Amino acid sequence: MSDEQDHKLEAKSDYVADASSVSTPDIDAVPEAELPDQELYHSHSWWTTYVFSQDAKYIGIQYALTAIGTGLLGLVLSWLMRIQLAFPGLGWLEPSSYYQFVTMHGMIMVVYLLTALFLGGFGNLLIPLMCGARDMAFPYVNMLSYWAFVVAVLVLLASFFVPGGPTGAGWTLYPPQAITAGTPGYNGGIILMLISLILFVAGFTMGGLNYIITVLQLRARGMTLMRMPLTIWGIFTATVLAMFAFPALLVGCLMMTLDSLLGTSFFMPAMVSLGETLTHEGGSPILFQHLFWFFGHPEVYIVALPAFGIVSDLLSVHSRKTIFGYRMMVWAIVGIGALSFFVWAHHMYVSGMNPWFGFFFATTTLIIAVPTAIKVYNWILTLWRGNIQLSLPMLFSLGFIVTFLNGGLTGLFLGNVTVDVPLSDTYFVVAHFHMVMGIAPILVIFGAIYHWYPLITGRMMNETLGKIHFWITFLGSYAIYFPMHYQGFVGVPRRYFEIYDSPYIDTSTLLLNKFITIAVLIVGAAQLLFLYNLFASARLGKKSEKNPWKANSLEWQTPQMPPEHGNWGKELPKVYRWPYDFSVPGAKEDYIPQNQPPSEIIGAKVEKT
């Protein structure tokens, strides 16, 4: 017995590291019950600081720049397609190139630009800063996440250079056509696309793990969930959605890769192709559609929820007013997130389904409009009697509300089976989804970049250039997409690379096509202004004061601006309130930062909203 005791003691001293030899952070400053400070990785060389960085701020910027670079390619592709549509007589594009460009444009914009920019870019930049953490929970995994994304982008771009070119199956990649002869890139491009998506999902999972754990576990003292900025709520909920939705994409991609490479029959039915009977049999193309849209619909909200969150904060800061109905906004974000998993089949009405099934999905689709409408009302009520500053972020936020409302209303049309079936394959749908998940989130991204640019560079972006950029982008997008609604109503089919001289198509639509294309070229070119502003202002921009927008949230309260490695200097911030105390009666300033102790604002009377 005593032997065993000794043995235990010995073993204990052997295997347990001496507490003093393990570096423990200085916790003198905090009471005993508190959590120890996070241990950080400190870089020593240029490579580990700027390239293989483990600092979430740098990773966020890396993500954002990579995503924007890829997005520019998507933009150029849209130019090429629009020139073809407006001037089919030029023989500008082959039909196969047109389909390839449509596919790559769609996939790049949805996944590699918007998802990566909102979650990878803004998520990494803002989550640690707004929550009051020093960094993400697992910085090394965070770095891996970014580099997996880079490899995914490179694989995607490589598909332009393989024989047969990139896939032309449409961004939905429906089998059997995606991997059957006759579709552009059916044996090379599609494989690279699928591999790229698999890599993206793997990389995103690593990043998403970080976002979730950091938001849940690494917040500053006093930062309860219901004191978090709505930006964080949006990004957090979107990340949770992504963690549940991306596996569906992964399953679909893996099984289609096997169908294509090995010749299995997960999705491929028995087919005759080019006069030959294929070896596949019994596969279910509809199964892929279900998997794809089980990912694809939450994906819409993966993009939209961060935009909702960010725009709420921008509106509140730039109208100097508490966000209207904070709790309702949080509930709406969570509710939309939950509901988004029960609406996917509304993308498949024309694939054919049991009428009751369609009825169910039409109902859920219309129900999801309720929390969404609550959000729109709350944004407007936030503006109501606010001290509205028409700064750049505010302009873009206002543009977002209008655009999102517009795209949301056409969504209500399309959610109904009977309305959707005739409109489904027309430009009406193109107009709808570009408004609601193209232009609207992009406007928020611009607003957010103008808003947080001083935080990143310490300088302001040029206001005049920004205003020109806003008006061209905002009015230009309406010039592009409003006519498309009309084109859809008169029955112009989408996915056609040329309409020819069909007697069923009104000639006015041909003229409209030219008009739209000119607008596309102008709006696209206006983005060069933005890019110039983005890069030039880093050197030439007006020096920004600390907290230039007089915001309350923690990212502006760091000891240095731009924040340094570790964000918070010696002591982590302590939070006493939510980030929406603007224009509080009795307070000296019209804003009370989240970390300002109550003793400094004794006269202030915070009102319930």
Partner 1 sequence: MNRKKSIFQLLTEKPWETDQIEADNDHEGRTVNISKQKLGLRTIMAASTVLFSLFVVAYSDRMLVNDWRNMPEPWLLWFNTGILVISSIVFHQATKYAKKEIFDKTKNCLYFIGFLAYSFLIGQLIVWYQLINTGYYATSNVANAFFYLFTTIHGLHIIGGIYFWGKTTSKFIKRSLKKEDINNLIDICAVYWHFLLVVWLVLFGLMLSS
Q: Which chain residues interact with partner 1 by CB under 8 A?
A: 7-8, 11-12, 14-17, 19, 22, 33-35, 132, 137-138, 205, 208-209, 212-213, 216-227, 243-244, 246-248, 250-251, 254-255, 258, 262-266, 279, 281-284, 287, 291, 294, 326-327, 330-331, 334, 574-578, 606-609
CB of 461 to partner 1, least distance (A): 33
- Cα–Cα distance for residue pair 470/448, rounded to 1 Å: 13
The residues near 145 (Cβ < 8 Å, ≥ 6 apart) are 59, 120, 203, 204, 206, 207, 210
Rounded to a whole number of angstroms, the minimum distance from the CB of residue 547 to partner 1 is: 22
User: Which lies closer to partner 1 via its Cβ, residue 219 or residue 469?
Assistant: 219
Nearest distance, CB of residue 284 and partner 1, angstroms: 6
Which of 328, 339, 310 is closest to 236 using CA atoms? 310
**CB nearer to partner 1: pick between 127 and 516:** 127
- Grouping H, G, I as helix, E, B as strand and the rest as coil, residue 439 is helix
In the complex with partner 1, the residue whose CB is nearer, 320 or 574, is 574
- Is the Cβ–Cβ distance between 594 and 557 less than 8 Å? yes
Distance CA 383, CA 398 (A): 10
Q: Which is nearer to partner 1, 22 or 390 (CB)?
A: 22
CB of 544 to partner 1, least distance (A): 29
Q: Which is nearer to partner 1, 142 or 406 (CB)?
A: 142
Residue number with CB closer to partner 1 (105 or 219): 219
Q: Supply the minimum distance, in Å, between the C-beta of residue 225 and partner 1.
A: 5
C-alpha–C-alpha distance, residues 326 and 127, integer Å: 19
User: Measured from the CB of residue 31, what is the shortest distance to partner 1 in angstroms?
Assistant: 10
Of 279 and 387, the one with the shorter C-beta distance to partner 1 is 279
The C-alpha atoms of residue 107 and residue 98 are separated, in whole angstroms, by: 14
CB closer to partner 1 out of 12 and 385: 12
Burial of 311 (0-12, 13-18, 19+ CB in 10 A): buried
In the bound state with partner 1, the residue whose beta carbon lies nearer, of 237 and 487, is: 237
The residue assigned the tokens 């520019």 is: 72
Q: CA 200 to CA 183: how far, in whole Å?
A: 24
Radius of gyration of the chain (CA): 26
Residue 272 dihedral angles phi and psi, to the nearest 5°: -110, 120
| CA distance linking residue 567 with residue 563, whole number of Å | 5
**390 near 463, Cβ under 8 Å?**
no
Give, in degrees to the nearest 5, the angle at Cα 160 between 525 and 513: 40
Cβ of residue 421: shortest distance to partner 1, in angstroms?
Answer: 25
- For residue 278, the minimal CB distance to partner 1 (Å) is 12
Q: How far is the CB of 104 from partner 1 (least distance, A)?
A: 26
Query: CB within 8 A of 142, min separation 6: which ones?
Result: 54, 56, 59, 124, 136, 206, 207, 210
CA 128/CA 135 separation, integer angstroms: 5
Q: Are strands 272-273 and 276-277 parallel, antiparallel or unpaired?
A: antiparallel
Smallest separation, CB 240 to partner 1 (Å):
9
Judged by beta carbon, residue 15 or residue 46, the one nearer partner 1 is: 15
Q: How far apart are CA 446 and CA 473, in angstroms?
A: 10
Residue 277: strand pairing partners: 272
